[in-house]
């Protein structure tokens, strides 16, 4: 049963990542990889909220598998973040590469902490 929850979450997360990336790219001509940045920050927000809910006893292990492992595992992407950051540096856009690395970590941590705080406010 657990593997099925991960698969179902992944079946939603993977196309959601692709569609979000395409939608964001279509609205931006920038060198910066906004699509990957967006899905990674949203994934951190979801995981933070889920973590806060689990800590408060409001999220079951099944929900954690479905949303945390399945959905967020397929939605967010460290490999694409790494690839795009390296590609920016290799293409001479070192400033954009540095901003992508720093902003992704800062925004991701901020989103995770915001999610935990929101869950604490709802379930504590």
Q: Is 92 annotated as a binding residue?
A: no
Q: Residue 46 contacts by C-beta under 8 Å, 6 or more apart in sequence?
A: 67, 68, 71, 72, 75, 115
89 in Cβ contact with 31 (< 8 Å): no
- Which residue from 16, 22, 63 is spatially nearest to 43, judged by alpha carbons? 16
User: pLDDT tens, 17-52?
Assistant: 999 999 999 998 888 999 999 999 999 999 999 999
Q: Is 76 annotated as a binding residue?
A: yes
Both structure tokens of 119: 């869950």
Predicted confidence band at 5 (pLDDT cuts at 50, 70, 90)?
very high
CA distance 57 to 40: 25
Q: Which residue has the tokens 């540095």?
A: 98
């Amino acid at each position: 049963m657990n593997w099925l929850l991960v698969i179902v979450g992944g079946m939603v997360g993977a196309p959601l990542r692709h569609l979000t990336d395409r939608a964001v790219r279509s609205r931006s001509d920038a060198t910066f990889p906004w699509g990957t940045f967006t899905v990674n920050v949203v994934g951190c927000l979801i995981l933070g909220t889920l973590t806060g809910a689990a800590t408060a006893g409001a999220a079951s292990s099944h929900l954690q598998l479905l949303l945390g492992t399945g959905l967020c595992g397929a939605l967010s992407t460290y490999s694409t973040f790494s690839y795009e950051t390296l590609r920016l540096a290799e293409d001479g856009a070192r400033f954009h590469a540095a901003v992508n690395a720093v902003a992704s970590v800062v925004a991701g941590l901020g989103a995770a902490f915001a999610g935990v705080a929101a869950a604490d406010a709802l379930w504590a």
